[in-house]
Amino acid sequence: MNVLIIGSGGREHTLAWKIAQSDKLTHLYIAPGNAGTQQLGTNVDINIGDFEAIGEFMLEREISMVVVGPEAPLVDGLHDYFLDNSELHNISVIGPVKAGAMLEGSKKFANEFMARYKIPTGQFRSFNTEEIEEGLLYIETLKPPYVLKADGLAAGKGVLILDSLEKAQTELKEMLNGKFGEASRTVIIEEFLQGIEASVFVLTDGKSYVIFPEAKDYKRIGEGDTGLNTGGMGAVSPVPFANKDFMNKVEERIIRPTISGLQKEQILYKGFLYFGLMNVNGDPYVIEYNVRMGDPEAQVVIPRVQTDLLELLIAVANNKLGKKSMETDARSVCTVVLASGGYPGNYEKGKGINKLDEVKDSIIFHAGTKKEDNKIVSSGGRVLAVSSYGKDMKEALEKSYFSAGLIKFDKMYYRKDIGFDL
C-alpha cells in the first residue's frame, strides 16, 4: 500500500524510517518532509493545513493511509474532513477526529474529561476573560508554586509555573488578556504536582490498544533543566523508575479509563495517544494528553519497537488491534538533539551540515533540515536527533555523544547532560 506521513520533524523522519522497513509498504510520501525523509520516500510540498490539497494528492497517487505527525491538523479536523467526504472516507487516517484531538487542543476539556472518569490529575479550576476577579481570588487560596495553563494550543509555551503570588496574579491577567492569543482566553489553574516526569504512549483503534515503550524527554534548553522550554532536547527509553508496578498503575488508572471514556463519549479515536505523567511517590498523575507521538520521544520509542509498525497501523484502521501484540527491544535507546544556536529564541538557518556520513554507531533523524544544491542545510531550530542503542542508558548516551561530536554545523548546540537525573 501507499502511505502519506504528514509533518516535517524528527518524529516524522522516525515514523518514515520505521514504516519504510515494512513489506506492506509500496511507496511512501511525506508532506512536507525534510532532507532525512527524502532518503526514504518522496517529499511533497503541500501545506499541511490544506486538507483539500492533501485529499486530492492522495486520490491522484492512490494512497490509502495518512499518518498525521503533529497535533494541529488533527485539532483542525483533518480526520473529520476525510470522513465527511465521499471520495475520501475510505482512506485510513491515523490520528483522532477533532473531538478526540481536544484532549490536547483544550486543557479544560482534558481536565474535565479526566474528572468524569476519575483519572488522577492535579486539582484544577478554569477561568475565562470574564472571570479574572474570581481567578485572582482563587490563586490566593493556593500554595506556591502556581501552575497556569493556557487552554488552547500554544506551541509548548502555554504552561507557566510561578513561585510568587504577585507574579502568578499578573500572569493570569496577561494570559486572559491574550498573552497567547485565543489560546489563553481561558486559563486553567492547576495544583502543582511534585515528582519526576515520564511519558507513556499507546496506539489505539478506539477499543483495543497496544502500549509502546515509555520515555523521558528533556524540555529545557539548558543543562540541569534550566532556561527556556523547547520542543525537547533529548530523550531516553526505557525510564528506570517506570517499573512493572508503576506501569500497571498507569494502565489500570489512566490508560483503560481514558480509552473507555472516549468510547462512552462516542469519540472515534484511532491513532497515538501520549500520556505526559508525573510520578508522585510511585503514583502516576496525568499532566497532559497529546494526541500524537512525542518529538523527540519518537526517536527513542520507535527504534525499540520490533513489531512491524505499518501492520499495527493497518490493524488500527481495520479495528483489529486487539489481535496484535507489541515486541520490544530490551536495549536502551537515547537521543540527543542538535539545535541551531539561539533556539528556542532567534537563530540562523541555512547552515551547511557536515560529516553526517562519518556517523556509524547512531541513527541520525533529521528535523529542521533541507537539501539545497545537493547539500544538506539547517532549516529549523531543532536540526537533528542522534539516536543510539546501548545495553544500558549509559552506553547509549556515550554513543550518541560520540556521534554528535563528529557532526559539524555553524553555531550547533546540544545539551551534554541528557539522562543526568536518572
Nearer to ligand GLY, 135 or 232 (CB): 232
Nearer to ligand GLY, 157 or 320 (CB): 157
CA 85 to chain centre: 28
Per partner kind, with CB cut-offs from 5 to 8 A, the member of ligand GLY, ligand AMP, none near residue 193 is ligand AMP
Distance CA 81, CA 84 (A): 5
The amino acid sitting at 64 is S
Per partner kind, with CB cut-offs from 5 to 8 A, the member of ligand GLY, ligand AMP, none near residue 232 is ligand GLY
Residue 135 binds ligand AMP (CB under 6 A):
no
The least CB distance from residue 290 to ligand AMP, in Å, is: 8
The amino acid sitting at 7 is G
Residues 205 to 264 in contact with ligand GLY, rule: CB under 6 A: 217, 231-232
Which segment (158-166, 292-300, 305-313, 381-389) binds ligand GLY by CB under 6 A?
292-300
Residue 271 binds ligand GLY (CB under 6 A):
no
Per partner kind, with CB cut-offs from 5 to 8 A, the member of ligand AMP, ligand GLY, none near residue 352 is none
C-alpha cell at 59: 486520490
Element (H, E) at 185: none
Residue with cell 517506570: 242
What is the number of H-type helices and E-type strands within the chain? 13, 23
C-alpha cell at 224: 540541569
3-class secondary-structure state, position 382: strand
Q: Terminus-to-terminus CA distance in the chain, angstroms? A: 42
Nearer to ligand AMP, 290 or 362 (CB): 290
Residue 283 binds ligand AMP (CB under 6 A):
no
Residues 160 to 189 in contact with ligand AMP, rule: CB under 6 A: 161
Residue 240 binds ligand AMP (CB under 6 A):
no
Binding mask 86-125 for ligand GLY (x = CB under 6 A): ----------------------------------------
Nearer to ligand GLY, 95 or 232 (CB): 232
Residue with cell 523522519: 13
Residue 225 binds ligand AMP (CB under 6 A):
no
Distance CA 162, CA 2 (A): 48
The least CB distance from residue 98 to ligand AMP, in Å, is: 20
Residue with cell 533540515: 369
CA atoms within 13 A on the CB side of 377: 11
Distance CA 41, CA 89 (A): 24
Residue 80 binds ligand GLY (CB under 6 A):
no
Q: With 0-12 CB in 10 A as exposed, 13-18 as middle and 19+ as buried, what is 164?
A: exposed
Residues 309 to 348 in contact with ligand GLY, rule: CB under 6 A: none
Which segment (15-23, 27-35, 131-139, 287-295) binds ligand GLY by CB under 6 A?
287-295
Nearer to ligand GLY, 71 or 80 (CB): 71
Of 280, 334, 349, 416, which is closest to residue 34 (Cα–Cα)?
349
Per partner kind, with CB cut-offs from 5 to 8 A, the member of ligand AMP, ligand GLY, none near residue 381 is none
Report DSSP state, residue 24: T
Distance CA 56, CA 46 (A): 11
Which segment (109-117, 290-298, 325-333, 340-348) binds ligand GLY by CB under 6 A?
290-298
Nearer to ligand GLY, 297 or 308 (CB): 297
Phi–psi pair at 171, nearest 5 degrees: -65, -40
* Residues 93, 66 contacting (CB under 8 angstroms): yes
* Among positions 297, 363, 383, 385, the unique one binding ligand GLY when judged by CB under 6 A: 297
Binding site residues, ligand GLY, CB under 6 A: 217, 231-232, 290, 294-295, 297
